[in-house]
Amino acid sequence: MTLHRIEHFSNRGEVSTIASKTLGEAPVFHDNVFVHDCYIGSWTEIGVNTQIVESTLDDYSYAVGDNQIIYSKIGKFSNIASHVRINPGNHPIERVTLHHITYRRKLYGMAEDDAAFFDWRREHRCVIGHDTWLGHNVIIMPGVTVGNGAVVGSGAIVTHDVEPYTIVVGVPARPLRRRFPQAISDALERIAWWDWEHETLKTRMDDLLNVESFVEKYG
């Protein structure tokens, strides 16, 4: 597949809902989507009222809508529910004032912006693995990695890394249980089915329905 470089895109004309049209090599953007300096994969879809900035959204991943994503790397087959926020802004609590006047100085006629502050934010990227599910209203804090196959329950605030194939819930997010036994999780990581070509996925689609037989066949 190809990651499409999108320097800047803003759309206010497409009002259909997510999963309402056939996807393809070109990403699908819905109404009021803003994309800036991103790499977006094929078979992807970004729902209404979503902003995605300086990030990667790899093949087959989608964001349902009302999402804010910045400085993040999102893998393939990621399922991002509505109102998910990935890498929200931090205020510098060690300064005299919490207000963004100290780093967004141009807004107030105060010379140049604080470039070091924004560089720090870029360095603390979020990484969302392949085949992940972020439930409604999830917040992924700066610098957090969510492992392959992990699930983040609705409303969770994730402040620490999430292990692969683990379900986390709550505020702050804590492990609830593993999706599969360790041996199966390890086998799925080795198989890395998310890297299969589109035609291969098509011919093996039924195999994806049962994890035990899938691992036995391809592991």
Of the two residues 37 and 19, the one the predictor is more confident about is 37
pLDDT band with cut points at 50, 70 and 90 for residue 2: low
- 30, 36, 83, 91: which one is catalytic? 91
Q: Could you tell me if 194 and 76 are in contact, meaning their C-beta atoms sit under 8 angstroms apart?
A: yes
**Model confidence pLDDT, tens digit, residues 85-113:** 999 998 989 999 999 999 999 999 998 99
Q: Domain 4-87+124-179: give its CATH superfamily.
A: Hexapeptide repeat proteins (2.160.10.10)
Domain boundaries, the chain: 4-87+124-179, 180-219
Q: Is 4 a catalytic residue?
A: no
Q: What is the pTM of this model?
A: 0.91
Task: Please determine, for residue 15, whether its predicted confidence score (pLDDT) is greater than 70.
Answer: no
**Model confidence pLDDT, tens digit, residues 73-88:** 999 999 999 999 999 9
**Model confidence pLDDT, tens digit, residues 119-145:** 988 999 999 999 999 999 999 999 999
The helix-helix angle for 182-191 and 211-218 (nearest 10°) equals 50
Cα separation values, 190 from 64, 183, 195, 218, 219, Å: 29, 11, 11, 9, 7
pLDDT score for 90: 87
